[in-house]
Copies of this chain bind each other. A is one copy, B any other.
């Protein structure tokens, strides 16, 4: 067992897979210096600049090179720096990486991991704060993963790199410094499995990424106040999502709230809400609800950012509403 940060857990996962498999390598801007958030710290010194590759500011090439290299016997880990910049490489990800296996009739595989830091973080404003997971959950051929803890960042990144299909791997910028236990000999993470972050009887909240921690705090407050005994599911993989686990929980509690940082309109919460509302129509004690950001670019000033964030007030109010 080791206590480490979410950033260090990512670095450790990458190092372990690089140790085990010489075809794993990473590419992105400034990786030699450890990456913008230190999530590659020490790796260039350990593996050399041939396997920890610092690249030009060429997102289309970073992604496209990843695709070509993945089809040529290597497992590239592509770093996009901010999820926002991955939009400079959308053709390469959506038209190429996601489709190659299918459109070439199974002749090739694209074992590519695309790391895209997401989320609001220190007044980063409209072009450095987005949570864009919903763009990728909609695209056939992509796996989408969002770890919420150091232990998960460790286990899930290893699983992503070992996946033979392309994985969009979204880490949250606010989580980099978060510390937690990372078990040495954890069971490998199985893609598509949610975690039960808290058990409860009255209400299921499905969430992911940094919002998990806000939701857990809200669940504790609700328990303290006697408002509700809440079950919190950390989805971890968005596609394929753990439908069985979510349905099982909602069948028990009869109530579902979905909470995410991304824009609610067209967010992945809509997929879960639509599915659960359809499948458990008769079992629900209350309508399925969603909570997240308004359909609004992210402002710079804290008073504006706070309007968008899922703060304690909005979470508590949503819980009260679910139980009333």
Contacts and interface: CB of A to CB of B under 8 A. Distances in A.
A259 to B, nearest CB: 14
Contacts of A297: 98-99, 102-103, 140-141
A65 interface: no
Interface of A: 84-85, 87-88, 90-91, 94-95, 98-99, 102-103, 125-127, 134-135, 137-141, 239, 262-263, 265-271, 273-274, 277-279, 281, 284, 286-290, 294-297, 299
Given A288-B277, A296-B102, A268 B271 contact: no
A13 B57 CA distance: 41
A103 B125 contact: yes
Contacts of A140: 263, 294-297
Nearest to A275: B270
A312 to B, nearest CB: 23
Contacts of A294: 140
A87 B269 CA distance: 24
A32 B244 CA distance: 54
B99 A126 contact: yes
A295 B85 CA distance: 25
Given A134-B138, A274-B277, A87 B90 contact: yes
A237 B125 CA distance: 28
Contact of A274 (B139, B263, B273): B273
A125 B100 CA distance: 12
B269 A274 contact: yes
A141 B94 CA distance: 22
* Most chain B beta-carbon contacts within 10 A, residue among A127, A134, A140, A295: A140
A87 B94 CA distance: 8
Contacts of A94: 87
Given A138-B265, A265-B271, 12 more contacts: A85-B91, A138-B263, A138-B266, A138-B267, A270-B271, A270-B273, A274-B290, A277-B281, A277-B287, A278-B289, A279-B287, A281-B286
